[in-house]
């Protein structure tokens, strides 16, 4: 070894040659062989025969003898150091050689794996069979086990390569990290798709009324254990599912009675089954035994067959998602429990909207006397903050008389301070009350410079004048101590709060009974679907810096615990089940092996609507080897969270079901490219949505228009004007379809009752329109507070969901996307002038909307420079016209119009 370099050749030393005592010769060890080069020739011997070379060590040098190699005269002059190096090198190579003698089992095992792998891949190719993920996993596992059994050093790998003949050497590439089972299988599957696209073109052209596109056909051919098909609106997902069923039977991948198609409602299941029967018969493929059903009907079947006692669904669950049933439960609890009624009223009237000390909802009222926006309480008075409204509502329901911002009894105005107006005054006891805007972790509220000095001044005023001041703080509202502290302080001053949930008030609660029941029914569906018990939900409650739990969340869960117990008690007494329990029970039976599924291929429609319980049932059905899942859906159209759907079934598909293929249908047969693009850009503002690029071969100039109106009559007039315009266009004798899509059912009353020649006009809610289409669409409810709904994204739902959707109005955004993409040609939006919704503001800002009527004569409204969410619209004031933000009173930005 010299300078870290390993020597493998040696010669007589310099001094030996210089003194003339040694001729020049070379001794080398290379590739398991010892070589001796002399002036007369080269002699070699394998290292295993190193004893054929002997050395006689003298006082200074050593002499080598090798008569068996024909070297009859000893070769002198090798230094002792060189001899030591030689012997070390030979010993090392002898060891490698000896280890190599044990490499034959490795080579045999490797050749066996290689031969078996290529035999099965070859058989798959010969039979035109897709090699699925479980095939990859199996052969990768075998190779991993082989490598673990025979760990090879680099030298051993070289020796193995030396020992292998030409035919065996390809197998050795499996030892190289660049070679993988997955890449080999993927290449063969890709080649299979290319061949089948050509050879089976007749099937793809005839299985449906119109030929399948290449991306549809590729999705049909791909027969992996787990396939997710992300299908754009109007991209022909049902055609793909029908073709998939036919392909499965045609290619003998499964029998018809081994195929299960799952849909989400009876009409969809019936349509899917009938279409399969009709189209497969047309292709001379027998569909006998093919089953299309709903999740719920299938769950009942599983339970009945496994237990011998088919359960009965609770009557009324099919009506409005069971909300009327839950409302009846709540009415009974409020009648039977004064404590429940009080908590219900407290949540409904005081904590109904999301609110923390440092994050308030947007103002919803305007105080014309004080000329400021705020929050209207149950006595119709406008408070400065949501926290003060919460206090006021509690006082009102508790029968405590108070004055809001009454001038202080002593005139204390000076050069630095205007007349002092405490937040609350209780005339019965002459007590003042300040609610400080102090939040946890902050010395003073942001944006309130000098707040602490002002607070100190106010406290000093009371001390100097001998008046009584009680105090609360915003930081105590979330943790639940505020109302306890306030009640204690009031009682100490002789005021006796008596919270009465039925106390009559002139105003309306923050949430109506209907909205409350909707919230609780949605929460119940998710909690049951995700199998979250009381303790699980409590563990998710937010905890503040001081360790206190969020009051709104804990109060809601107090109520929810009672609602769920009564709901379940009624089901048990009637020997009935709800949807969630039914699916959970069916899943348990499948997972426990008490019901063995006869289905090897499961095709699921509208997969974006899957709840956690549905997803778990599907996973149980396909968990065994040689089972296949084909899940079709569009996360952009996930709009049934209120019924328990969980978008993570789509967005976390592989994490839930295992590795597979994610394919896309991006060509739409419905909407124009312009409408598809603007609708796609709109929904993709939410970064959590899966990315797609929707393509269309159709074109339409200005597909999206906006009409601004001033009243309900104006809405009806705008619809009428649009329908008359379309009727004129359709005067050529062809009939056009028009759908008026409302965010709410009551909007049907805004549709004119007139008949329009050449038009088929119908009204539906956006939710009920999914899966349908029309030539033209009219959406009348794009006014602020209506669409997007401000009541649909309560953060309480995060307690029952595996992961939250934090993007603002995420579900409402998807809902508008659904409405837009029902149209083949055009969409008309209708909004109240000056009260345009955030979505209208956004679409105008993106420059994708054409203004109609009087608005079209001027420029499009400009975005509000203050909030960025609203539009600057024309208003009339005391001193003439001016521009103001249409989000007033949430935003009070305004600007005079120059004369």
154-203 pLDDT, tens digit per residue, is 666 676 676 666 667 777 777 776 788 899 999 999 999 999 999 999 99
Higher per-residue confidence, 296 vs 98: 296
Is residue 497 included in any domain, yes or no? no
The pLDDT-based confidence of 770 (bands split at 50, 70, 90) is: confident
* Lowest-confidence segment of 376-380, 536-540, 725-729, 766-770 by average pLDDT: 725-729
Reference 1, options 93, 65, 82, 66; nearest CA is 82
Regarding whether 521 and 602 lie in a shared domain, the answer is no
Half-sphere exposure of 468 (CA within 13 A, CB side): 13
Where among 667, 688, 719 does a domain terminate? 667
Sign of CA dihedral 199, 203, 206, 211: negative
SS3 of 700-725: the string is CCCCEEEEEECCHHHHHHHHHHHHHH
Regarding whether 174 and 34 lie in a shared domain, the answer is no
Reference 770, options 276, 293, 405, 237; nearest CA is 237
**Across residues 447-475, what is the average pLDDT?**
87
| CATH code, domain with 889 | 3.30.65.10
For residue 618, pLDDT over 70 is answered with yes
Reference 815, options 793, 787, 840, 838; nearest CA is 787
Reference 475, options 432, 442, 510, 434; nearest CA is 442
Binding site for ATP, by residue number, is 231-238
Compute φ and ψ for 425, nearest 5 degrees: -135, 130
pLDDT attached to residue 381: 92
pLDDT attached to residue 21: 66
List all residues 6 or more positions away from 527 whose beta carbon is below 8 Å from its beta carbon.
537, 560, 564, 800
Reference 601, options 263, 283, 287, 261; nearest CA is 261
Mind listing the pLDDT tens digit for each residue in 80-103?
888 888 999 898 888 877 766 677
Chain centroid, CA 620 distance in Å? 21
407 touches 461 (CB < 8 A): no
The pLDDT-based confidence of 440 (bands split at 50, 70, 90) is: low
Domain range holding 112? 104-146+153-190
Regarding whether 370 and 303 lie in a shared domain, the answer is no
Angle value at C-alpha 243, between 242 and 244, nearest 5 degrees: 90
Cα 701 from Cα 130, distance rounded (Å)? 44
Mind listing the pLDDT tens digit for each residue in 5-47?
557 888 888 777 777 666 788 899 988 889 998 888 888 888 8
Chain centroid, CA 389 distance in Å? 35
Our count of domains for the chain comes to 7
Q: What is the DSSP letter of 864?
A: P
Cα 764 from Cα 770, distance rounded (Å)? 10
Regarding whether 621 and 769 lie in a shared domain, the answer is no
770 touches 804 (CB < 8 A): no
Mind listing the pLDDT tens digit for each residue in 497-532?
999 888 999 998 989 999 999 999 999 999 998 899
Cα 103 from Cα 89, distance rounded (Å)? 21
Cα dist from 574 to 309, 314, 315, 697, whole Å: 14, 8, 10, 56
**Across residues 403-417, what is the average pLDDT?**
90
Cite the DSSP H helix spans in 338-432.
338-349, 386-397
pLDDT attached to residue 4: 43
Query: Whose structure tokens read 């004048």?
Result: 465
For 315, counting Cβ atoms within 10 Å of its Cβ (0-12 exposed, 13-18 middle, 19+ buried), the class is exposed
Regarding whether 113 and 94 lie in a shared domain, the answer is no
Element (H, E) at 687: none
SS3 742: strand
For 284, counting Cβ atoms within 10 Å of its Cβ (0-12 exposed, 13-18 middle, 19+ buried), the class is exposed
Compute φ and ψ for 868, nearest 5 degrees: 75, -5
681 touches 675 (CB < 8 A): no
Chain centroid, CA 792 distance in Å? 17
Regarding whether 817 and 689 lie in a shared domain, the answer is yes
Regarding whether 527 and 455 lie in a shared domain, the answer is no
pLDDT attached to residue 358: 47
Is residue 405 included in any domain, yes or no? yes
Reference 507, options 617, 375, 609; nearest CA is 375
The proportion of the chain whose per-residue pLDDT surpasses 90, expressed as a percent, equals 45
Is residue 234 included in any domain, yes or no? yes
**Across residues 420-435, what is the average pLDDT?**
94
Mind listing the pLDDT tens digit for each residue in 89-145?
898 888 877 766 677 787 788 888 888 999 999 999 999 999 999 999 999 998 888
Structure tokens at 789: 């709904």
Mind listing the pLDDT tens digit for each residue in 341-352?
999 999 999 888
Chain centroid, CA 309 distance in Å? 37
pLDDT attached to residue 1: 45
SS3 531: coil
Mind listing the pLDDT tens digit for each residue in 823-851?
999 999 998 887 788 899 889 888 888 88
Mean pLDDT, the chain, integer: 86
Query: Whose structure tokens read 């997007």?
Result: 788
* Lowest-confidence segment of 458-467, 761-770, 806-815, 890-899 by average pLDDT: 890-899
For residue 562, pLDDT over 90 is answered with yes
Is residue 502 included in any domain, yes or no? no
263 touches 550 (CB < 8 A): no
Where among 540, 573, 606 does a domain terminate? 573
549 touches 479 (CB < 8 A): yes
Regarding whether 685 and 561 lie in a shared domain, the answer is no
Cα dist from 118 to 150, 178, 187, whole Å: 21, 18, 13
Where among 67, 100, 133 does a domain terminate? 100
Which residues are 599's β-sheet partners?
Answer: none
Pairing of strands 424-426, 431-436: antiparallel
Q: What is the DSSP letter of 599?
A: -
Cα 164 from Cα 20, distance rounded (Å)? 47
Chain centroid, CA 694 distance in Å? 20
Cα 527 from Cα 536, distance rounded (Å)? 9
Regarding whether 365 and 481 lie in a shared domain, the answer is yes
Regarding whether 218 and 331 lie in a shared domain, the answer is no
346 touches 499 (CB < 8 A): yes
SS3 197: helix
Cα 690 from Cα 588, distance rounded (Å)? 31
| CATH code, domain with 722 | 3.40.50.300
**Across residues 35-63, what is the average pLDDT?**
85
Angle value at C-alpha 581, between 578 and 587, nearest 5 degrees: 135
Is residue 710 included in any domain, yes or no? yes
Cα 511 from Cα 197, distance rounded (Å)? 57
Regarding whether 719 and 605 lie in a shared domain, the answer is no
pLDDT attached to residue 639: 85
What strands, in cross-sheet order, belong to the sheet with 850-851?
759-765, 736-742, 774-779, 823-832, 704-709, 850-851
Regarding whether 589 and 558 lie in a shared domain, the answer is no
Written as one string, the DSSP assignment of 341-378 is HHHHHHHHHTS-S--BTTB-PPP-EEETTTTEEEEE-T
Cα 109 from Cα 115, distance rounded (Å)? 10
Structure tokens at 60: 């200074």
Cα 453 from Cα 459, distance rounded (Å)? 10
The proportion of the chain whose per-residue pLDDT surpasses 70, expressed as a percent, equals 91
Is residue 182 included in any domain, yes or no? yes
Query: Whose structure tokens read 């001998």?
Result: 466
Is residue 501 included in any domain, yes or no? no
Structure tokens at 148: 């673990």
Cα Rg for the chain, rounded, in angstroms? 40
pLDDT attached to residue 374: 83
Cα 387 from Cα 357, distance rounded (Å)? 8
pLDDT attached to residue 805: 66
For residue 293, pLDDT over 70 is answered with yes
**Across residues 543-567, what is the average pLDDT?**
84
Structure tokens at 129: 């069979």
Angle value at C-alpha 817, between 812 and 819, nearest 5 degrees: 95
Q: With b meaning 16 or more CB within 10 Å and e meaning fewer, what string describes 833-853?
A: bbbbbbbbbbbbbeebbbbbb
Helix axes 323-336, 513-529, angle to 10 degrees: 110
Cite the DSSP H helix spans in 751-829.
766-769, 810-820
Is residue 692 included in any domain, yes or no? yes
| Cα dihedral 105/111/116/119 (nearest 10) | -160
What strands, in cross-sheet order, belong to the sheet with 880-885?
862-863, 871-877, 880-885, 894-896
Count of residues making up the chain:
899
Binding site, by residue number, is 231-238
65 touches 54 (CB < 8 A): yes
pLDDT attached to residue 856: 45
Q: Count the Cβ atoms, other than its own, within 10 Å of residue 708.
A: 25
Cite the DSSP H helix spans in 168-236.
181-199, 201-206, 214-221
């Amino acid at each position: 070894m010299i300078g870290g370099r390993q020597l493998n050749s040696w010669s007589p030393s310099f001094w030996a040659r210089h003194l003339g005592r040694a001729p020049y010769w070379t001794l080398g060890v290379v590739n398991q062989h010892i070589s001796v080069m002399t002036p007369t020739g080269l002699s070699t011997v394998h290292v295993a025969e190193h004893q054929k070379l002997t050395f006689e060590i003298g006082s200074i040098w050593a002499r080598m003898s090798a008569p068996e190699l024909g070297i009859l005269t000893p070769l002198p002059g090798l230094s002792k150091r060189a001899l030591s190096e030689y012997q070390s090198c030979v010993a090392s190579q002898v060891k490698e050689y000896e280890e190599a003698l044990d490499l034959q089992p490795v080579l045999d095992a490797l050749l066996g794996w290689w031969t078996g792998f290529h035999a099965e891949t070859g058989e798959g190719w010969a039979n035109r069979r897709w090699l699925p993920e479980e095939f990859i996993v199996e052969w990768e596992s075998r190779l991993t086990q082989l490598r673990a059994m025979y760990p090879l050093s680099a030298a051993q790998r070289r020796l193995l390569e030396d020992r292998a003949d030409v035919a065996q050497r390809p197998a050795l590439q499996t030892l190289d990290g660049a070679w993988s089972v997955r890449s080999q299988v993927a290449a063969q599957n890709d080649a299979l798709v290319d061949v089948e696209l050509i050879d089976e073109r007749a099937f793809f052209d005839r299985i449906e009324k119109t030929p399948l596109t290449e991306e549809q056909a590729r999705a049909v051919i791909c027969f992996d254990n787990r396939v997710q098909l992300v299908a754009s609106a109007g991209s022909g997902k049902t055609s793909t599912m029908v073709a998939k069923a036919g392909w499965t039977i045609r290619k003998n991948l499964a029998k018809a009675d081994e195929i299960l198609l799952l849909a989400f409602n009876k009409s969809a299941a019936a349509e899917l089954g009938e279409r399969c029967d009709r189209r497969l018969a047309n292709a001379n493929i027998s569909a006998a035994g093919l089953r299309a059903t709903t999740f719920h009907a299938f769950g009942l079947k599983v339970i009945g067959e496994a237990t011998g006692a088919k359960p009965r669904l609770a009557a009324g669950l099919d009506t409005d998602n069971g909300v009327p049933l839950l409302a009846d439960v709540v009415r009974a609890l409020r009648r039977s429990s004064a404590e429940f009624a009080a908590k219900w009223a407290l949540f409904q009237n005081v904590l109904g909207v999301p609110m923390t000390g440092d994050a308030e909802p947007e103002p919803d009222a305007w105080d014309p006397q004080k000329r400021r926006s705020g929050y209207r309480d149950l006595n119709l008075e406008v408070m400065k903050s949501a926290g003060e409204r919460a206090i006021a509502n509690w006082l009102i329901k508790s029968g405590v008389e108070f004055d809001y911002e009454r001038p202080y009894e002593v005139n204390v105005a000076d050069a630095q301070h205007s007349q002092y107006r405490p937040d609350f005054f209780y005339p019965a006891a002459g007590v003042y009350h300040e609610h400080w805007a102090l939040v946890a972790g902050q010395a003073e509220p942001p944006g309130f410079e000098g707040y602490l000095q002002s607070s100190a001044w106010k406290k000093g005023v009371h001390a100097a004048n001998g008046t009584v001041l009680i105090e609360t703080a915003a930081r105590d509202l979330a943790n639940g101590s505020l109302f306890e502290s306030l009640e204690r302080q009031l009682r100490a001053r002789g005021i006796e709060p008596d919270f009465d949930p039925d106390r009559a008030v002139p105003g309306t609660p923050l949430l109506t009974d209907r909205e409350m029941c909707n919230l609780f029914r949605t929460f119940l569906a998710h909690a049951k679907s995700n199998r979250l018990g009381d303790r699980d939900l409590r563990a998710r409650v937010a905890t503040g810096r001081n360790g206190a739990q969020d009051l709104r969340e804990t109060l809601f869960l107090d109520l929810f615990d009672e609602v769920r117990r009564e709901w379940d008690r009624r089901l048990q007494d009637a020997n009935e089940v709800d949807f969630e329990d039914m699916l959970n029970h069916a899943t348990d039976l499948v997972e426990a092996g008490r019901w063995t599924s006869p289905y090897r291929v499961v095709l699921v429609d509208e997969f974006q609507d899957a709840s956690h319980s549905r997803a778990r049932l599907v996973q149980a059905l396909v968990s065994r080897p040689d089972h296949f899942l084909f899940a079709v859906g569009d996360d952009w159209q996930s709009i049934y969270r209120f019924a328990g759907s969980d978008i993570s079934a789509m967005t976390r598909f592989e994490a839930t079901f295992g590795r597979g293929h994610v394919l896309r249908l991006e060509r739409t047969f419905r909407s124009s490219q312009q409408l598809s693009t603007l609708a796609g850009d709109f929904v993709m503002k939410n970064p959590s949505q899966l990315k797609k690029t929707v393509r269309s071969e159709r074109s339409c100039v200005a597909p999206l228009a906006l009409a601004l109106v001033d009243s309900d009559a104006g809405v009806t007039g705008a619809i009428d004007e649009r329908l008359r315009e379309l009727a004129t266009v359709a005067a050529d004798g062809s009939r056009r379809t028009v759908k008026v899509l409302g965010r709410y059912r009551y909007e049907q009353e805004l549709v004119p009752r007139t008949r329009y020649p050449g038009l088929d006009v119908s009204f539906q809610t956006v939710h009920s329109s999914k899966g349908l289409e029309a030539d033209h669409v009219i959406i009348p409810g794009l006014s602020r507070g209506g669409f997007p709904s401000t009541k649909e994204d309560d953060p309480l739902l995060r307690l029952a969901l595996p992961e939250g959707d934090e993007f603002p109005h995420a579900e409402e955004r998807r809902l508008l996307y659904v409405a837009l993409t029902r149209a083949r040609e055009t969409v008309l939006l209708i909004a109240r002038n000056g009260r345009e919704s955030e979505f209208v503001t956004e679409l105008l800002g993106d420059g994708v909307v054409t203004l109609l009527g009087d608005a079209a004569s001027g420029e499009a409204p400009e975005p509000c420079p203050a909030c960025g969410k609203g539009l600057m619209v024309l208003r009339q004031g005391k001193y003439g016209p001016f521009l103001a933000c249409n989000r007033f009173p949430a935003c009070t930005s305004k600007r005079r119009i120059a004369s």
